[in-house]
Structure 1
Amino acid sequence: MFTRNERSALRDALVAAARADHRIDGAAVTGSAASGAEDGWSDVDLAFGLAEGADQAAVIADWTAAMYERHGAVAHLDVPRGATIYRVFLLASTLQVDIAFAPAAEFGAIAPTFRLLFGTARDVPVAAPPEAAGLVGMGWLYALHARSSIERGRGWQALYMINGLRDQVVALACLQHDLPAWQGRGVDGLPAAVTQPLLGTLVGALDDATLRRAFAVATEALLAEAAHVDPALAERLAGPLRAMTDAGRSGAAGQEPQ
């Protein structure tokens, strides 16, 4: 496990290396450290702006080699945004290190958590939150697949779909309360009146009754959040979604009730 001092020392070393790399024209601290919200579990989040004409692939390759050889990286993955590559490293100490390698034109603040260390930041479009209408759509799509999974007796798949349905509800609720909606980042800031009912969506067993109960609760939560986005759409969705949660009592689709 890493310590705060070790994390700070690594961040300082990476910034110093960036200053010494002629292919990097700017650097910024991002994430929780940029907003004064860093705690004992925070990552190292940095953004580097590449010099005009710098070979992005070569820069990333060199920095990746250094992360493995000098700083104990054991794995990494890439998260692209536009032409910027966010390379995410896992260190042996369990520390996560995120480094954005941005072409010069894309080096700038896409969120309030951006503190420039050196160089010039460009005016770039901020990262947009997920669209509420799309979340509602994904919600009813997950609901359809949750229903079919339950009726087919596929408990694990039903669990996956119910969890996906709840994720859309959480994101919608975060948007409604002006909280970060990506990856559940704002969920712990939601009022208890929103989160308490969602406890009923948690699936602790794969028997039919438990799955149907969780599915019904998640469906009602989706309808409640959809009503904030588009009341008319929520009203149109209510009939078919509630019909799906009643399937166990009225007989599965395509079958005559016994």
Structure 2
Amino acid sequence: MKGFVSTPSSTTRFSEVFESRNLIAELIRRDFNVRYKQTGLGVLWAIINPGVNILLYLFVFGLLVRLPTPEYNAPYAAVLISAILFWNLFSTSMLTASDALINNMHLVTKVYFPRLSLCIASVFVALIDFLIAFIVFVPLALLYHVDISLIRLLLLIPCIIITLMLGCGFGCAMAILKLKYRDIRHILPLITQVIFFASPIVYTLSIVPEQYKIFYSFNPITGIVMMSRWAILGGAPIDLTMLTYSLISAFVVMCLGVIYFVKNDRSVADYE
């Protein structure tokens, strides 16, 4: 691999991560392609998989299950998918980043390089998956007469950035904790499920009783979901308070997660 430009030090310097950008690009290419290695259709599966999933959502929740979503001028299936896309971006970036060290111990124990590069590469692979799924979703949404506005879609950019910050922060912290405490490997999927159902993904915030909405305001996923739905579907206005909290929370989580990772990444080989 190209990009091993660093020399060992007590802690990873952030300049080393930038200097290892060629390595990160190579890791992204490797992680993305390895999933489709020795398959007949190759990388076409990157389009087929999200395409089939979206079609199933549209069929089941668009034709068989029609839940009311009065705050959005769109069918429930589109309301659901617009949130699922960002949930998958968060959960995939977090889970793959949390496995980045474990899955690459053969590299970590043999040569020095900024270990943070592994987590960053995992997050960008999740972003590629998201972009492919979104590109597949847009024409199908238009077939369902979803009022997609190019101007509103620009607001998806901050949504993506906030989501990646959250996923990267949690993923970096979990990558270290998974090595130190093996039980985390089993606990993390359970925590992910709790966060999923505690976020307005399969339902909208309008059906949540008023006395419980205060708890949703402390969930950074809530602001992301509400903004992404408005950007894609229009309808319900954005709650700027929740969005601001999501941004601040994501920034804090990313900083704490990365700092914790950097302070511990030199000792990861001890947990092999």
Question: Fold match, TM over 0.5?
Answer: no
Report the structure, 1 or 2, having the larger strand content.
Answer: 1
Report the structure, 1 or 2, having the larger helix content.
Answer: 2
Instruction: Normalising by structure 2, report the TM-score.
Output: 0.28
Which structure is richer in relative contact order (CA contacts within 8 A, separation 6 or more)?
2
